[in-house]
Chains A and B, each alone.
Chain A
């Protein structure tokens, strides 16, 4: 297929359709409206169904029903809207339903603003909602990667029978880049028939019950253990990251994800042209976090720089990876302001000159 020039939002929508997702339920919120807009145009062409629900609460519970019938289904929203979906996402995880949720983050807290942010890192990776569950979290840095990860997300959701969250900032949704969809793409996981799905029953087989209610404490504890084993398998098998500039010796290792890592890569290229080599590990999965990759790459550096569009939520995971073996410096912007490549270059120079104060001591 010839390359198209697509907004991230359009590419996410098309990727879902290519992955066999013919159902989308959602509610509008800036800056991700182009995803439901695209799906409302595209799904009727493939015999699918688009529903603009009356709220995010309704949309996310429609996901529960659709996924329970064994169909591939997706929703998308932006930060405040995802908060409204939180209860249903816990139910989806509890009932082991495969769905794909896209969060195109905007600046918060509260209504905040409509410009890009990474302020939902904690929500995505630690505290989405009540109970004891995890989401697999994928964080693209380009429009092409957004398309690829959305297709992977459907396979991962089906394989683990768990919600998968694609986490992008507003920029990923709105920027335009060339995209190519590979024909004849195969699933990235061995997928079995969804015999658990509730598709109607004529009495010839046991009933399929989709439920997250376990009144018997022993049964619920067994369920918790079963879920935990699943999350452990994700940690063992699904870690993804990208290394940048690690083929040279470097003094500083950057850890950044999403479009911020893209900004950092521009700064790294520029610094390299002036003879300063900086390495970067870019987490592609935020849960599971690439602790080992960060630890190994940091071992070759004298200090680590975390760059984020938040108050420093990912620092906690980087700190866990490093176990205080290296000092951590931090660069950020918030409110919808972006980190510029110049700011990254300045920060690296400040670290070299001793003008930067570390936020975590070794």
Chain B
């Protein structure tokens, strides 16, 4: 996964797009790749990519998001630089799109500049979220997001989890549903995501690529090892 110039993360509300987008961008930066991250989330007011701006800056990741006090606003602001970066850039671009078809509408508005041949569009799936309990609902959601986002989904990321109560069984259960969903769509499951605490166990249970996540998007009390001092609930 992630060999294309542009990686777009879409999916249902609360599926884990922001967490995965942040981890991808930071992993790329750590490997020496120049990365730009674009926050297109106009759906949720908290826990957005922009919340991690200090973390991204420290890692050398460029962030495209509203600036000044507007970074805290619940306004549908799309910074114009995103259009030029989509057209041309020698940097890798990771785009975090807002949830559901509502969030994907912003992506649709950029359809004229999205370089489809250079873009992978990954849809994140958590089958423990109420909006996607099974493959049927997930397939329907993929169709809605593709129609509104005007970009075909090229791969699925299996991200089924229950936060601190995640077990390998929960992840593998979700992987099975993601594979079923992928079969019906004709789209590959490019990775199964797992928290760093459980990733090794998952690797021993599947041949699939495991995307090891360090948890970034979380309230301060849930991150005893990494502390937030800022208002936005991620490491700053």
Name A's B-contacting residues (CB within 8 A).
2-7, 10, 14, 30-31, 113-115, 170-171, 174-178, 259, 262-263, 265-266, 269-270, 335-338, 340-343
Contact = CB atoms under 8 A, between A and B. Distances in A.
Nearest to A10: B130
A88 B129 CA distance: 35
B224 A341 contact: yes
Name the residue among A262, A270, A340 with the largest chain B CB count within 10 angstroms.
A340
A270 B163 contact: no
B231 A174 contact: no
A210 B47 CA distance: 44
Nearest to A175: B219
Contacts of A266: 220-221, 224
A263 B129 contact: no
B74 A114 contact: yes
What's the interface size class on B, roughly? 20 to 34
B163 A176 contact: yes
B221 A341 contact: yes
Nearest to A263: B221
Nearest to B69: A113
A340 B128 contact: no
Nearest to B228: A340
B163 A170 contact: no
Contacts of A176: 14, 163
B177 interface: no
Nearest to B100: A37
A115 B129 contact: no
Given A5-B163, A170-B46, A341 B231 contact: no
A3 B128 contact: yes
Contacts of B165: 3, 178
B46 A4 contact: no
Nearest to A32: B45
A206 B163 CA distance: 55
Given A4-B130, A14-B130, A178-B162, 18 more contacts: A5-B161, A30-B45, A31-B45, A31-B74, A113-B72, A114-B73, A170-B46, A171-B46, A174-B47, A175-B219, A178-B128, A259-B219, A266-B220, A337-B230, A338-B220, A338-B228, A340-B227, A341-B221
Nearest to B218: A175
Nearest to A173: B46
Given A5-B14, A114-B72, A262 B163 contact: no
B194 to A, nearest CB: 15
B128 A4 contact: yes
15 contacts: A4-B129, A5-B126, A5-B128, A7-B14, A30-B74, A114-B73, A115-B232, A170-B45, A171-B219, A174-B44, A175-B233, A178-B165, A259-B221, A263-B221, A270-B224
